[in-house]
Every structure is written in structure tokens, then in C-alpha cells.
Amino acid sequence: MEWTLTILFVVSILLLIFSILKERQTAKKNHNEIDLVHISVMKEINGMQESLRNMELDLEIVTKETGVQLSMEEKILKREVLDLYRRQYSIDSIAQQKQVSENEVKQIIAVYQSSQAEGRLVANEG
């Protein structure tokens, strides 16, 4: 009887040690996977930051070359109007939302409408 209890106690200790070792291996594996995901996300973020810097530099070059000087408010208004227009809001609703006249909205998007129409014509001709 004593031998049975001793054997059961030793087996239970061995199983406990085995389970602790397995848990550590699993935790280490999970940690490595998390590290790999973190590294890939950081690479992607760095790539996006570099692309954003390049776009900002390109925009600065274009504005300097064309001589167009807009205030920050004008840039924001044009960006928001163009964004709403590309998301297919009506000119009337854009004007109401931005509290400007419909003519101002039409003037802002006129440049972008003509370039889109020309692109469609070229695509349809081929």
C-alpha cells in the first residue's frame, strides 16, 4: 500500500514537471509567433511612413513648380469637397455640408471632373 502511494506520488510529480515543460515550450512558441507578427507589422508601418513622406515631398514639389499657394483652410476645404464628391455625394449636399455655394463646389470639382472624363474617353476608345 505504501509503495502504491509512493509510486502514484512520484508519477504525479513527473507529470507535473512534464506539463510545466510543455507549457513553457508552448509559451515560447507563441512568443516567437508574436515577435514575427510584430516585426512584419513594423515593416509595414515603416513602408507606409516612407510612402507618406514621399507623397508629401511630391506634393511640395508640385505646389512649388506650379506656383499655387493655398491657405491651410483652402486645402482642407478642397480635400473634403473632393473626398465627398468621390464618395458620390451630390453637389447640393456637399454645398450644404460645407456651408458654401453650389458654384464654389462646382468650381472645386471642375478640374477633377474634366480629368476623369478624359480618362474615360481614352479608355473607351481602345
Architecture of domain 70-126: Orthogonal Bundle (1.10)
Q: Where are the domains of the chain?
A: 1-69, 70-126
- What digits encode the pLDDT tens for the residues 19-32? 999 999 999 999 99
Pairs from 109-112 (Cβ < 8 Å, separation ≥ 24): 109/81, 109/82, 109/85, 112/82, 112/85
Distances 32 to 21, 29, 56, 69 between C-alpha atoms, Å: 17, 5, 36, 51
DSSP summary character for residue 60: H
Contact at 8 Å (CB) between 82 and 59?
no
Helices (H) and strands (E) in the chain, counts: 4, 0
Confidence of residue 122 (pLDDT cuts 50, 70, 90): very low
How many percent of the chain have pLDDT more than 70? 90
Does the structure show a pLDDT above 90 at 73? no
pLDDT at 115: 52
Does the structure show a pLDDT above 90 at 110? no
- What digits encode the pLDDT tens for the residues 40-50? 999 999 999 99
Write down the mean pLDDT value for the chain: 87
pLDDT at 6: 93
